[in-house]
Structure 1
Amino acid sequence: MALNPAYPVVETAWGPYWTCSGGEIPPDRYVDVGGRTLGQFTAQRGRQYELDQVQAGTSTLPLSNTDGALDPTNAAGPYAGHVLPFQPVRRRAQWPPTPNLLNQAQATGGDVGGQPLGALSTADDGPRILTGTDPVGGQLVASGTAWQGGTVIAMAVPAGAAAGAWVCYTAQPAVRPGQTYTVQLRVRNVSPGTSVQVAAGFRTLTVEDAAATTAAGTTATLTGSATAAWTYIEVTATADPASSGLQVGVQLAAAAAAACTVQVDGWQLEAGAATDWVQPGVWYPIMAQFTEDWPAQWTNGGTYGTVTPTGVDALALLSQVTLDDPLSAEIKSHAPRFVYKLDDPSGSAAVADSAGNCQPVPVANSKYGPSPITFGTEITAADTVNGIFTGAPGPVATFTNPNPGQSIFGSACTYLSLTQAGITGPADPTAAWTRMVAFRYPYGTPAGAAEIWMAADNRRANNILAGALLILAINDSGEFGAATGGTGGQNLQMFPPLGNVADGNWHLGFVGHDPDTATMWVGVDSASWEWNVTADQVPTPGSLTMDSIGAFVDEKARYTYAHFAGDLAFACEFPVSLSVTAQEDLYRSWKNSLTGESTDERYARILRYAGYTGPSDLQTGQTTAMGPADFGGQDAVTAAQGVVDTEGGAHYVDGAGTVAFRARSARYNATTPAFVFGERLEADEYPYEDCQPDYDSTHLGNVVQVTQTGTGQVFTATDPASIAAYFPRTITRDVNAADPNECQDAASYIRSRYKDPAMRIGTLRLHPSAHPALWPVCLTLEQGTRVRVMRRPLGAPAITLEQFVENLNWTMDDRGEAVLVLQTSPADTTPYGVISAWHTTLALPAAAGATSLTITPGQTCASLLPPHYTLWLAPELGLGTPGREAVSVLHQVGDVITLNSPLQHSYAAGESVTEALPDDTATPEQWDGSSTFDSTAFTY
């Protein structure tokens, strides 16, 4: 493959095998459409200003389509039926350019590429070194006899592994149909006393997952030895025109006669004939998006076809997802079988399944008459502050059955008949399942039992149901629990001592079955208890024939007893045994709308609720306690932006398609630029062709109003001097922090940041195709990268602009031109510090009677101490302990502190010196962890 040493190897790849897959950009199985590119490729992502909402990344990719292969209506094309919207498309560049199309970890056996020794990761962002023979996925191991470097790829091959099995392979590089490729590797068998036959393998696959091209090189017999020599293997093959993905690596040429370990090193995939192995350059992502549409054009009398798919990143997909309230969203994330919210309108004759899987459940009456269910009730409780739930707006259903909690036959009852909706217990009671219901029972401890939900079969004893059953109830101790029984009539009562729930307040009840551990469990709110169960204590599939909510109901005989009365909501069933974490998530989303979680936790939750399954990179948020989740009815991007606004951070989709969330600390801890742009190349500055700064008033603000989302309370910060200079300029922000002090701090920070105009750069044009030294810089730049831009006017001092990258706009064409235009925002002009404990040690001994101390300089004592400041010597000895004393500072010069009075005790070098602490048991180091903004710690 001919290379231009001043231009990277560029791969433009499309994934017809894939759909959007929950927003994931798969790492494998792509078609290289680089040979079809025409005109100008563009890709843009980011935001205009640092306070603006991030925009979805977009791209345009003009492609030749004279053969109609990319025409969605071409039923005879190689991708027929698979030219669709929202398929992954990526562009990446290798720098420096080499013939080797693999990544560095693959090519070097792990020597380069940042992969740790040990088990190989199969994650999408891993090395993508895969295997079909090693059950644990293979390893990178150190080797003193590696073909090159000091590590190798090691793959286990079990006895009997079939011919054709992949010992080691990758499917990461995109395949160009019709292109000839060569694969070369070095292999050896390090298991003494064994022998295995292998060959270099090449295979391409069609979009329908059938083999398109299959080729293997000459068979090599590897005789096992701890000191085995390396054997060179290769294969050359041409990719079929219908290829939509490739696999290259080492295959078994014959079934393995004995278990062995095969090692691989010196791996290369290249276009054309084999050349000398070379370590590849780094593959940098430029764009990873999804094809939004496929606009086509036929010119020259309809003989020349082009298609220009437009791309959007994961933010565009997420913007189409409308989120439910926190509880409904959390329920939906566990793929429920049904969800009867019981929020149906007043007068309803049935309740609807919001999951859309099951029929409406009708309202039914016992033979003794009705006692109507009231729909549309507001959420209330005995304790109207702590006894309610806020994770869903309501309303709820109120059951008014007489004689609640008593074992009395013959009284009227109205219940919900799941039986008539085709639901008779869990779909398979012996499999994993969980039932959940929210309830409020305001009638005190039952005399017998208040049965909320029950399922049973038709078998009777003395005209009373006596077969298999599953009951959720409140017992005569006021405890929530369950009773279960198998077809053999072996019953198990499960009422854990988790508190009295007959208190007129809302509670969330669970019962579940885990066949893997042979247990059933009961949960109330955020606590749970489990029991071991035997097979005859669990109903068998099909044994349950009736299911109802509101009482113990014999639907065949139409009698009821042990009535429930009170409020019910969210009767759900899940086809899994919910974990403790899942139960806790459901409870918190139901109880208080997830109040108290950090910004990164809330951001991750929004992604999960939106169904996003792609890669993410979420920093730990500095806001550790958010207010209630208020995103019901919002699209996922708006909800995520609300989290970012609360954090004061940023979010975006990077060039590899990863959703990134950045805490506010990401910028104030970035104190030095990653790159400097200017004209002094000898000073390691990188050239730019155009710079357009703007002394911008867009975000000038001197009246800042921050609204606390959960309460609506407004916190204000103003700057009179700025108002006088620029007239009132208002900035408003919604901040969903639980702590009002944090809301006020947010207002104060925004005021300090935007009370004066600042210099922004609307255009910074970088031209890597004209200045090849810019390639690794341009390919590395990302949103949030700190840069420095230098301007040196003639006859004037140099101008330094400290900036953060906000927007990246790539333009690359088929003539070899490549331009990256940046838009940036100003970095804060003042450093940050935190109040921490001043502490150090004695650099020299200090004898009793001395009036000065020589201390060890360090980060925690960078400031000069004021006169009369109190210090503790040997504070670890404890207050009032001989050998510890408090001294008063007269003055400080450098590392020498002069005291107001002589020392009472002698101290050795290395003894601790600290400022007076607020708690005698405290240690100064406990505050060091937060002292990370810069190198200054303040002492007052």
Structure 2
Amino acid sequence: MPLLVEMGWGGLVQAPETIAWTDITTRVDVVQGVSITRGASDELSDTQPGTATLVLDNYDGALTPGNAASPYSPNVRKLAPIRISVAVMPTLSGSAPYPMAMLGDDFDDGRVDSTLWVTNTGGAGAETGEGRLRITVAPGVDTNFTSARQWTLAGSKLTAKLAAVPALNGSSNCAASMWVTSTTSGTRIGWRYDASTGVLSAQSQTGFADGAAVNLTYSAIDHAWLRVRESGGTVTWETSSDGFIWTSRRTLATPAWVTSQTHAVDFPTTRTGGTAGYIEWDLVGAEVRPRFWGVVNDWPVRWKGLTSKVLISCTDLFKRLGTAPALRSMLAEEILHQDVAGITDVVSAYYPLSEDSGSSSAGDISGSGCGSLALTQLGSGGLLEFGGDGVPETGETAPTFTPSSASVGKYLTADLGTVFESNSNAYTSQTIECWFRTTTASRALFGLYETNLDHQIVVAINASGQLTVEVTDTGGALVVNTAPGVTVTDGEWHHVAHVIGLNDRFYIDGAPSTFTLAVPDMSGLRHLHVGGYRGGRLFAGEIAHLAITHSTASVIDDIAPLHWEAGTAGFAGEDADARIERLARYGGVNSVTVWGSAFDAIASQGPAGSNALTRMREVEATESARLFAERDWYGLAFQSRDVRYNPSPSSEVFTIDYADLDTDEVEASDDDQKMINIVEASRPGGATQRVTSPSSVTTFGEKPKPLSILKTSDDSVLDAANWLVSRYADPPVEIREVPIEAHTMSTYLDILDADISSYFSVTNLPSQAPASSMRVTVEGYTEVIKHNSHRIEFHTSKASTDSIWVLDDAVYSVLGSTTRLAY
């Protein structure tokens, strides 16, 4: 059971696919062990941030922050990515020939197993102090590191970690491989690395050649693990970055020799010249199971005499989300986190214009460094006051422009700076948008212009109350384009969005305008006027959320309708899983795994004020769902309530006999800890409704719980309240803690696969138990991984708590017992 602890030195947790991981397992104190917590204590509690603690040997100072001599400098820093896994080695059983999946070696005992590896040409293969197999790649020498011929690939697999590839070192030819070999020389299946080309090749050779080989440009990140497996008449070549999630690279109909012969495994190398090097392999045959993925909080260096240790604590993705700042409105977040597949967007300027009353300027929050919008006076008179009523659903304010006339009053002007100007030149498309409200025609909303005035663009309102786009690319008179059919001087809030430079289009209130634009490309734009343009046409009314996005493509079809919906409805009515993915994106997480399908429509979550995780928790509670951080990736998992409906024996991850627990800590509980028999439930803008269980109240007394959730109808609120009372008016007898010494179990891999919402059964309980077998749902766990020990204590709930009625079903239609209606 080798532990596998890897650091992502210099990597960014939000870009896990770019992290090159470094194995530091040999530094781990496996006597004290690695402690990990995950999930929740019970199903009514929130899942907590996952944590890991471990002690690392710092004998050489490599893990001392700020030590310039460290091979990891300057990346020994707070919040460095870390991942922890268990690599389960196969056990040899039965008699030869053996399935190839039973071939295992972790190379951790300091000597080559000559019984397993019968050929070691010239002693080229040796085990390193880091616990890897190092095979020399010497000039003019072909080496072999070969197993006994006692294995079969049919229905099995060969797996290995490619820990280091050989350098070319001045040679014209240098290669190293992993082969499953036939009894016929030159006939073999496997992987070959060519140092001269940097190519990793999936091959099925005959006569030492394969004209149909699949070649990959080698990546130390993507190709850290290699596998060849055969199943159902097909051979598949796969690679992995972590040994757990695999990517298929090639498939081939199984050659006849694979199913008719016994095989050997060979790790040969060859080099024609240059200087010697090596290739390193590790964990042959390992089954990897991730246990933790997160960041190191700090690196506290401790000493005992001259011995130095580092006791690190780590936290998963919830740390980053939980400490993130409060979100702005959904409209603002949509502008700041535009997400259009395959398109590079840069929000080059964004002025929410939501400054407090009494402000004299408005700031850009895009982060690109644009200058602030300053009050500019024309003539004498007129007002421009911040802090007025803003766009619906945002909870944010907007400035009110009150000029004395079209040429007397105040407006806002800014020099957007060199970065914006550079973006204006570099990108093929610019999208300009804002919100406004007015009853006055013949005024300018905003305008952008180049310093020398050659390029200018103005969005204005004509005498008929219609929007216009006015442009020039020569410095001459502005050419006016009018959007007919929509009058915007009705005193209501409107949204306008316009693309410049690529398939020019115009959107009003989220819908495309029918008019054809004749707008030339706009480059060199740098100066912005809002609420007027260059000394005239002063706007009367409110303007808010002015943003300019530069892009590699035209994205208005995607963002204009979204921004209109965000500003007017806050995405009310979208399904809960879509809301979770949206909020995760606001929080900087683009990977959400959605489990299940029972998702209701979610109400708007109102204005700004809480961070992304808090808002996701609101959705989780509304849906009676489960939200948690993945343990194998920088991502979130969101489980709907139907994931837990009606567990069956086939859905159990494992079963365990009570005697195998070897503990006196198992306890069957029947108490009122979870009891709920009165629920007062409400939703934003809806009714407050009460659901009770009269029989429970009579028997046990009142056990109330308020429920404020984001449903879009009173009926949905009532369903949620009934669901809660039906499950907890009289909670069943349950086992809440199940401790297991997992390492000794034959079902070790299955136990490691158990995660939040997994099921397992404890069988053959003592005669005093309420039943001989009890099925439980995993809510979380704590574990301690040591040398030859892996103790996991599962926090569990009774699986039948989430069962629902199935008509005429022997188990799930028992009157008064399992006739709970689904929610």
TM-score, normalised via structure 2 length: 0.73
Q: Is the counterpart of residue 415 in structure 1 residue 408 in structure 2?
A: no
Tell me if 1:630 matches 2:606.
Answer: yes
Go from structure 1 to structure 2 and tell me whether the alpha carbon gap of 1:478 and 1:527 turns closer, same or farther (over 3 Å shift): same
Alignment partner of 1:35 out of 7, 26, 48:
26
Indicate if the aligned counterparts of 1:371 and 1:413 stay in contact, CA closer than 8 A.
yes
Taking the aligned partners of 1:571 and 1:216, their CA distance within structure 2 comes to 49
Structure 2 residue 324 is the aligned partner of structure 1 residue 321: yes
Of 549, 555, 580, the residue aligned with 1:574 is 549
**1:428 corresponding residue in structure 2:** 424
Question: Which residues of 2 match residues 547-566 of structure 1 at below 5 A?
Answer: 547-553=528-534, 559-560=535-536, 562-566=537-541
Aligned partner of 1:786 in structure 2 is 759
Distance 2:53 2:292 in 1: 11
CA radius of gyration, larger in: 1
Q: Deviations over 1:175-233 (max 9, x none)?
A: 799xxxx9533599xxxxxxxxx973579xxxxxxxxxx9999xx999999976999xx
1:523 aligns with 2:507: yes
Is the contact between residue 12 and residue 90 of structure 1 (CA under 8 Å) also seen in structure 2? yes
Structure 2 residue aligned with 1:206: none
Question: Which of 735, 739, 744 is the equivalent residue of 1:761?
Answer: 735
1:468 to 448, 455, 460: 455
Contact 1:28–1:245 (8 Å) recurs in 2: no
* Equivalence for 1:394: 396
> Partner residue of 1:852?
none
Contact conserved, 1:418 with 1:424, CA < 8 A, in 2? no
Counterpart Cα distance in 1 of 2:819 and 2:697: 34
Distance 1:224 1:83, change over 3 A: same
Q: Aligned in 2, Cα 1:490/1:627: closer, same or farther, shift over 3 Å?
A: same
Q: Secondary structure at the match of 2:376?
A: strand
Indicate the residue corresponding to 2:573 in structure 1.
Answer: 596
1:606 is matched by which residue type in structure 2? L
- Residue in 1 aligned with 2:143? none
How far does the alpha carbon of each residue in 1:307-365 deviate from its partner, in whole angstroms, 9 at most, with x for none?
12211000111001122221222222145222222222333322222345322211112
> What corresponds to 1:156 in structure 2?
none
2:587 is aligned with what amino acid? A
SS in 2 for 1:822: strand
Q: Report the CA distance shift for 1:390/1:937 in structure 2 as closer, same or farther (over 3 A).
A: closer
Aligned in 2, Cα 1:511/1:424: closer, same or farther, shift over 3 Å?
A: same
Equivalence map 1:769-808=2 (5 Å)? 769-771=743-745, 773-790=746-763, 792-794=765-767, 798-808=771-781
How far apart, in 2, do the equivalents of 1:803 and 1:68 lie? 46
| Cross-structure match for 1:362 | 374
Q: Distance in 2 between matches of 1:176 and 1:298?
A: 36
Q: Which moved more, 1:616-625 or 1:83-92?
A: 616-625
Q: CA RMSD in A?
A: 4.6
3-state DSSP of counterpart to 1:62: strand
Is residue 2:722 matched to residue 1:748?
Answer: yes
Task: Give yes or no for the alignment of 1:693 onto 2:668.
Answer: yes
2:744 counterpart SS class: coil
Preserved contact between residue 477 and residue 500 of structure 1 (Cα < 8 Å): yes
Q: In structure 1, which of residues 537, 552, 555 is the aligned counterpart of residue 520 of structure 2?
A: 537
| 1:501 alignment partner in structure 2 | 488
Inter-partner Cα distance in structure 1 for 2:655 and 2:206: 57
How far residue 545 of structure 1 moved from its aligned partner, in angstroms, is 6.6
Distance 1:830 1:663 in 2: 12
Following superposition, the deviation at residue 63 of structure 1 comes to 1.1
Of 667, 674, 679 in structure 1, the residue corresponding to residue 657 of structure 2 is 679
Q: What is the alpha-carbon distance in structure 1 between the residues aligned to residue 508 and residue 207 of structure 2?
A: 60
Q: 2:467 aligns with which of 477, 480, 505?
A: 480
**SS of the counterpart of 1:824?**
strand
Counterpart for residue 16 of structure 1: 9
Does 2:788 align with 1:810?
no
1:277-426 paired onto structure 2 within 5 Å: 280-299=285-304, 301=305, 303-322=306-325, 323-334=327-338, 336-355=347-366, 357-366=369-378, 368-379=379-390, 389-403=391-405, 411-419=407-415
Q: Distance in 1 between matches of 2:384 and 2:280?
A: 80
Mapped contact 1:480–1:496 kept (Cα < 8 A): yes
Aligned to 2:396, the other structure's residue is in SS state coil
Q: CA distance change for structure 1 residues 690 and 201 in 2, over 3 Å: closer, same or farther?
A: farther
- Determine the C-alpha separation between the residues in 2 that align with 1:33 and 1:726: 55
**Shift in alpha-carbon separation, 1:592–1:413, aligned structure 2, 3 A:** same
**What is the aligned length?**
684
- SS of equivalent residue, structure 2 residue 718: helix
**CA distance, structure 2, for counterparts of residue 620 and residue 248 of structure 1:** 31
Segments of structure 2 that go 5 or more residues without pairing to the other structure are 91-102, 108-151, 167-174, 182-190, 215-219, 228-248, 255-263, 270-276, 339-345
**After the TM superposition, which residues 201-216 of structure 1 pair with which residues of structure 2 at under 5 Å, given as runs?**
201=194
Closer, same or farther: CA 616–687 of 1 in aligned 2, 3 Å: farther
Tell me, yes or no, if the aligned pair for 1:678 and 1:789 is still in contact at 8 Å.
yes
Q: Of residues 622, 626, 630 in structure 2, which corresponds to 1:650? A: 626
| More deviation, 803-812/341-350 | 341-350
2:79 to 72, 75, 86: 86
CA distance in 2, matches of 1:601, 1:186: 46
Q: Secondary structure at the match of 2:644?
A: helix
Alpha-carbon distance between aligned partners in 1 of 2:422 and 2:438, rounded to the nearest angstrom:
25
Secondary structure in 2 matching 1:342: coil
Three-state SS of the structure 2 residue aligned to 1:293 is coil
Q: Quick check: 1:13–1:174 contact (8 Å CA) kept in 2? A: no
Q: Mean alpha-carbon deviation: is it higher for 34-43 or for 476-485?
A: 476-485
CA contact under 8 A between 1:183 and 1:267: conserved in structure 2? no
Identity %: 22
**Shift in alpha-carbon separation, 1:552–1:829, aligned structure 2, 3 A:** closer
3-state SS in 2 of match to 1:655: coil
1:314–1:498 CA distance, 2 compared to 1 (3 A): farther
Instruction: Determine helix, strand or coil for the equivalent of 1:769.
Output: helix
Q: How far is 1:494 from its partner?
A: 4.0
Inter-partner Cα distance in structure 1 for 2:165 and 2:3: 13
Contact 1:482 1:522 in 2 (8 A): no
Letter aligned with residue 533 of structure 2: F
Going from structure 1 to structure 2, the CA distance change for 1:420 and 1:703 (only over 3 Å counts) comes to: closer
Aligned counterpart for 2:563 among listed residues 580, 586, 589: 586
1:438 aligns with 2:409: no
| Structure-2 change in CA distance of 1:800 and 1:478 (3 Å) | farther
For structure 1, the 5+ residue unaligned runs are: 1-7, 103-146, 154-169, 189-197, 204-213, 232-242, 251-260, 380-388, 405-410, 460-464, 554-558, 836-857, 864-933
Q: 1:936 to 1:295 in 2, by over 3 A?
A: closer
- Secondary structure at the aligned position of 1:315 is classed as helix
Pair 723,362 (structure 1): closer, same or farther in 2 beyond 3 Å: same
Q: Residue 733 of structure 2: SS of its match in structure 1? A: strand
SS in 1 for 2:555: coil
Contact 2:349–2:420 at 8 Å: present in 1 too? Answer: no
Question: Offset at 1:101?
Answer: 8.0
The offset of 1:649, in angstroms, is 0.9
Secondary structure (helix, strand or coil) at the match of 1:359 reads coil
Name the counterpart of 2:696.
722
The change in CA–CA distance for 1:171 and 1:564 in structure 2 (over 3 A counts) is: farther
Counterpart contact for 1:99–1:270, Cα < 8 Å? no
Aligned to 1:900: none
Q: Deviations for 1:102-131, whole angstroms, at most 9, x for unmatched residues?
A: 9xxxxxxxxxxxxxxxxxxxxxxxxxxxxx
Does the 8 Å CA contact 2:370/2:420 hold for their aligned counterparts?
Answer: no
Kindly provide the CA deviation profile for residues 68-116 of structure 1, in whole angstroms up to 9, marking residues without a partner as x: 11111321110111101112211222344354789xxxxxxxxxxxxxx
Aligned counterparts of 1:412 and 1:650: Cα–Cα separation in 2? 58
Structure 2 equivalent of residue 72 of structure 1:
65
Q: How does 1:660-675 map to 2 (within 5 A)?
A: 660-672=637-649, 673-675=651-653
TM-score (norm 1): 0.64
